[in-house]
Amino acid sequence: MPQNQPPTYRIAPSILSADFARLGDEIKAVIAGGADWIHFDVMDNHYVPNLTFGPMICQALKPHAKKADGTPVPVDVHLMVQPVDALAAAFADAGADLVSFHPEASGHVHRSVQAIKAKGCKAGLVFNPATPLDVLDWVIEDIDLILIMSVNPGFGGQSFIDSALRKIEQARKRIDASGKDIRLEVDGGIKTDNIARVAAAGADTFVAGSAIFGKPDYKAVIDAMRAELVK
Ligand code: DX5
Ligand code: ZN
């Protein structure tokens, strides 16, 4: 993306905070409310102390991830699992459009990235609050997405960790220096009242769970977030 062009912002509601008894309807409702991507948090109760969805749920929900006119809405799978490769392949087969993983959860980061791309998916790396960005020195040429965690992974509804703003700035510098079209996504504690600060640090894609699904009117929250982004 040319640096003088304003970013195209993307809002990715996380279904971790949705009503699990009605996930298909919740996905349709949040897309009608203006969601650009659907963020799918996969937790294995090993890499993180929580357990969520498997590939079968992703496959069942994929047909619901489309706009009223039938346009597919990207399914953004965030893998908080260890090991990575088998589940990455299974989610790719289940309809994921983007698959991101935590580098420290894979013994062979470059190989895991290649395997995800070989499945026709976009590949991303996720950085926990205390994890440095150094691995990007060796694989930034190969990835499509950098996901900065602004909470410690495992739960929704946590508070935004401010040190993430500095890491977003560092990641933005690396992306701009690479000249590649890489999305910079931030995940955890994103709200209408902090999204502009996160964008100012260099992010262009925003995961929000409790801020959206915790409210009755999804469209009102997403519209308010967009209004903050264009201020
Ligand atoms: C946490 C997940 C996040 C979480 C965000 O480990 O990766 O995607 O669902 O939820 P909020 O927006 O409520 O912090
Ligand atoms: Zn997530």
pLDDT of residue 6: 75
CA 98 from chain centre, in angstroms, equals 9
Cα gap 136→150, rounded to integer Å: 18
Backbone angles phi, psi at 10, to 5 degrees: -125, 135
Report the separation in Å between the CA atom of 57 and the middle of ligand 1, taken as the mean of its atom positions.
18
> Mean pLDDT, consecutive 10-residue segments, the chain of 231 residues?
73 98 98 98 98 98 98 98 98 98 98 98 98 98 98 98 98 98 98 98 98 97 97 91
Q: Of 11, 15, 16, which is best to mutate to test ligand 1, by the most ligand atoms within 8 angstroms of its C-beta?
A: 16
Which whole-number Å values give the CA distances from 182 to 8, 16, 54, 74, 179, in the listed order? 12, 25, 27, 15, 9
The ligand whose atoms approach the alpha carbon of 153 most closely is 1
pLDDT of residue 221: 98
Known catalytic residue at 25: no
Within 10 A of 43 (CB to CB), how many other CB atoms are there?
20
pLDDT of residue 4: 59
pTM of the model: 0.97
pLDDT of residue 2: 53
Bridge partners for 194 per DSSP: none
76, 97, 187, 204: which one is catalytic? 187
pLDDT of residue 33: 98
pLDDT of residue 3: 53
pLDDT of residue 141: 98
